[in-house]
Chain A
Amino acid sequence: MFRPSNGMSRRRLIKTGMAGILATGVSPLIFSKGAWAQEFCNNPTGATVTFGLNLPLTGAYAEEGADEQKAYELAIKHLNGEGDGGLINVLKPTALKGNGILGKKVEYVTSDSQTLSDVARAGATRMIERDGAIMITGGSSSGEAIAVQSLCQEMGVIFMAGLTHSNDTTGKDKRRYGFRHFFNAYQSGIGLGPVLGKEYGNERRAYHLTADYTWGWTQQESIKNATEALGWETVQTVLTPLGAGDFSQFLTPVLNSGADVLILNHYGNDMVNSLTQAVQFGMRDRQANGKNFEIVTPLISELMAKGAGENVKGIFGTSNWHWALQDEGSQAFTRSFGAAYGSPPSQAAHTAYVQALLYADAVERAGTFYPPEVIKALEGHEFDGMGNGPTLYRAEDHQCMKSVLVVRGNENPTSQFDVLNVVQEVSREDSTYDPAMFGGDLGPAEPAPLCT
């Protein structure tokens, strides 16, 4: 019997009752794949298991998306025991055997998210409902990642985030079913602050141009805090619409604002455009307050540096990973990727590849695809050999704790790929922060019976 005072249990009873009516009614006769016919969402019963790759193949971050796709295809090959095995050979500890996952061959379906949250969500839903994806991964904007992550929580499907750098992804908007290997804006601030102080001194006046969405806001806040801690002054912060294209109307006011550093909290094509246009405005040849005017791009990738060409020379930023790192894991990955596609992998490709492997490894260790068990296997997991040194998948917020790179645009590139130099590796100890800082609530691990 239920207690009358407890409304929830009464609701649940009605709900279950209705479910029973529905179950004995029309729907299961038509749909053998009803929610009650399986133990959890998309339990793989055949000889294969399907990954859902949610990739921005068009839109502002399309270049990252294309690189991620290459990385996932490579990772899936390696998981299935094809190719040279890549990072499977260097992951420590590893439960991967190179025969798929739990003996099931890995397959994949794709969806073009167009770098838009709405579309990303629709694509993820399609891959879960129709294509039976056991796990969703990918994306290269924090907007997408947060939207898809909350969907995956509702569906009870694990989401291994691709490139997403907002503090919110594993902060305010964190979810039990979402995991992020990539670093975040706060860690960029930790890494970049001291280097900027050393290079540009403690008396600087900064002007921020910021992409107007979750990632831009958190990065602006993090970098602002980090630079103000150095003693810098923030002259102005201006929000710019995502995908503005021509930033000139935001750049002209910078010239005589009294600022001597321009901080571009942009990413992807936006960054390529705003940086190129800022250089066209002569900002790098300018003097202000008796110092050289400088531009800083707190988050930068090889792909963007390539797009900006020589405008990026000498400019500081941070990266999650770089192909020229000398450790065994990075070398192995660069070799595999380069042999397959003729170019070194970007940081987006690296994080995508690692996420696919980490999921597979967690399933092997859990011995089941049942998401709550896989989540347990990932939470608090300590591993090494993936290119960022010893890494912890923190249980409190599902954020990876590892070293972070401060990079600088290469002044004398030897090839078209050699565009960024690593100037400093910020250790895991230094880049670790208190998970309670950004709030948020992971929510339950038990899946809601929503997946059909």
Chain B
Amino acid sequence: MFEVIFLQLLNGLDKGSAYALIALGLTLVFGTLGVVNFAHGALFMLGAFCAVAFRRLLTLETVTLDPTRLSPWGQPLEVRAPVVQAWFGDFGAVLVNYSVPISLLLAIPVMLIIGVAMERGLIKHFYKRPHAEQILVTFGLAIVLAEIVKATFGPNPIPQPMPTDLRGAADIGAFFGMQANVITYPLWRLIYFVFSLLIIGAVFAFLQFTTFGMVVRAGMADRETVGLLGIDIDRRFTIMFGIAAVVAGMAGVMYTPLLPPNYTLGMDFLVISFVVVVVGGMGSLPGAVAAGFLLGILQSFASMTQVKAIVPGIDQIIIYLVAVVILLLRPRGLLGRRGMMEA
């Protein structure tokens, strides 16, 4: 029974990593700009498609027709030659193999630009408008972004293979000197978990230890006073929106080997990430992270047959049930500040 529970716990942390990363960005935006961003899931999706686009670029092929051989339908056989390998040889093959992690390098600038453009172009006009209108305009934006991706990449998921060396499962049990082949877990999912911890740590360190972060934190606490001190808080907040977009984008890139991305990916994660934010407490960064992992773990355990036998259908509703209970008993969320959107 121990190994079953341990595996399910691990699975919960793994599921929670994605939730925590998305909720982190969502909370950054809400805490700094006071904007409820329904398009945040779309940023996650755009990040995933950075990986797709990068791989497309790497796997471009030259197609030549070989008239001497015939395809099964009686036409000249197409001979495909990958361009990158032709140019770079083995190094090209390595590039293609590691396309997913490498595309992080592409995703960072792209997502930063998208985030800043989104904030300057649309979101900034909505600071003074009510939350309901922020929800609506970002919801509309989410639809538009998803449809643009659909029009460009098609409606079907596009699988992104993980690097060959990182496939398969790691035997964690054996690593800790236990019986082999009992506690195994996919290597990439472990990497994703570690990756999310790194990103979360980096964001916290950035806010904690840099002057920029200090100003932003001060702005989150009291925007007007900071503005009175002659600090251009708006510009910093714009950059924070960009950073939130980068976090979401990187989370999306690394998620692609686990789930082939398609245009609905953002909407799929949107509802759940909002629930995570609310459970953690609107505007609380530690709350978002803690709630992300907590809900991941709860969802994982609720999916066990033993649990479902006691409460049928619990795996389907656990997340929403927790949200309802938290909202009713403790509206500011687990770690939310008193007075933050409390009503």
Chain A interface (Cβ < 8 Å from any Cβ of B): 57-59, 62-63, 66, 236, 238, 241, 245-246, 248-250, 252-253, 255-256, 269, 272-273, 276-277, 280-282, 285-287, 307-309, 323-324, 334-339, 342, 344, 415, 417
Contact = CB atoms under 8 A, between A and B. Distances in A.
Contacts of A241: 316
Nearest to A306: B159
B305 interface: yes
A430 B149 CA distance: 47
Contact of B169 (A238, A281, A308, A415): A281
A256 B3 contact: yes
Interface string B129-141: 0000000000000
B121 interface: no
A304 to B, nearest CB: 11
Given A256-B7, A324-B72, A339-B74, A281 B157 contact: no
B300 A334 contact: no
A226 B234 CA distance: 67
Contacts of B11: 248-249, 252
B259 A338 contact: no
B260 to A, nearest CB: 7
A277 B169 CA distance: 11
10 tightest A-B CB contacts, nearest first: A338-B73, A282-B169, A249-B303, A280-B186, A58-B155, A252-B7, A249-B300, A252-B11, A335-B73, A62-B155
Given A280-B167, A324-B72, A249 B159 contact: no
Nearest to A61: B156
A280 B8 contact: no
Interface string B1-42: 001100110111011000000000000000000000000000
A273 B259 contact: yes
Contacts of A287: 181
Nearest to B182: A256
A62 B3 contact: no
A58 B258 CA distance: 21
A418 B194 CA distance: 38
Interface string B265-301: 0001000000000000000000000000000000110
Contacts of B299: 249
A63 B300 CA distance: 30
A281 B181 contact: no
B304 interface: yes
A246 B296 CA distance: 12
13 contacts: A58-B155, A59-B155, A248-B14, A249-B11, A249-B303, A252-B8, A256-B7, A277-B186, A280-B169, A280-B258, A309-B161, A339-B74, A342-B78
B73 A248 contact: no
A63 B161 contact: no
A255 B303 CA distance: 15
A287 to B, nearest CB: 7
B15 A246 contact: yes
A342 B7 CA distance: 45
B14 A253 contact: no
Contacts of A248: 11, 14-15, 186, 189, 258, 300
Contacts of A238: 305
A338 B71 contact: yes
B97 interface: no
B168 interface: yes
B208 interface: no
Given A241-B316, A282-B184, A335-B74, A253 B161 contact: no
A245 B268 contact: yes
Given A252-B8, A307-B159, A415-B71, 16 more contacts: A62-B156, A241-B316, A248-B14, A253-B8, A253-B303, A255-B7, A256-B3, A269-B156, A269-B260, A272-B159, A276-B159, A280-B168, A287-B181, A339-B73, A339-B74, A344-B72
A269 B157 contact: yes
B73 A281 contact: no
Interface in B247-271: 258-260, 262, 268
A273 B160 CA distance: 12
A443 B185 CA distance: 53
Nearest to B308: A238
A334 B72 contact: yes
Contact of A337 (B73, B168, B300): B73
B225 interface: no
A307 B161 CA distance: 11
Nearest to A236: B305
B188 interface: yes
A245 B266 CA distance: 12
A254 to B, nearest CB: 10
B132 to A, nearest CB: 28
Contact of B304 (A253, A272, A286): A253
A252 B161 CA distance: 21
A402 B4 CA distance: 45
B64 interface: no
A272 B74 CA distance: 30
Contacts of B303: 249-250, 253
A57 B10 CA distance: 37
Contact of A285 (B12, B156, B169, B300): B169
Contacts of A253: 4, 7-8, 303-305
Interface in B168-216: 168-169, 181-182, 184-186, 188-189
Tell me which of B150, B155, B181 has the highest count of chain A C-beta atoms within 10 A of its own C-beta. Answer: B155
A346 B167 CA distance: 29
Contacts of A245: 259, 268
Contact of A249 (B15, B71, B168, B184): B15
Nearest to A277: B258
B75 interface: yes
A211 to B, nearest CB: 14
Contacts of B161: 309
A269 B71 CA distance: 27
A273 B260 contact: yes
A277 B168 CA distance: 10
Contact of B157 (A272, A334, A335, A336): A272
A338 B72 contact: yes
A248 B73 CA distance: 40
A360 to B, nearest CB: 23
Contact of A63 (B156, B168, B181, B189): B156
A324 to B, nearest CB: 7
B244 to A, nearest CB: 23
A280 B74 contact: no
Tell me which of B8, B12, B78, B159 has the highest count of chain A C-beta atoms within 10 A of its own C-beta. Answer: B159
A344 B75 CA distance: 12
Tell me which of B15, B78, B185 has the highest count of chain A C-beta atoms within 10 A of its own C-beta. Answer: B185
Contacts of A285: 168-169
Contacts of A344: 72-73
A146 B288 CA distance: 43
A276 B3 CA distance: 23
A413 B63 CA distance: 19
Contacts of B168: 280, 282, 285
Contact of A252 (B74, B300, B316): B300
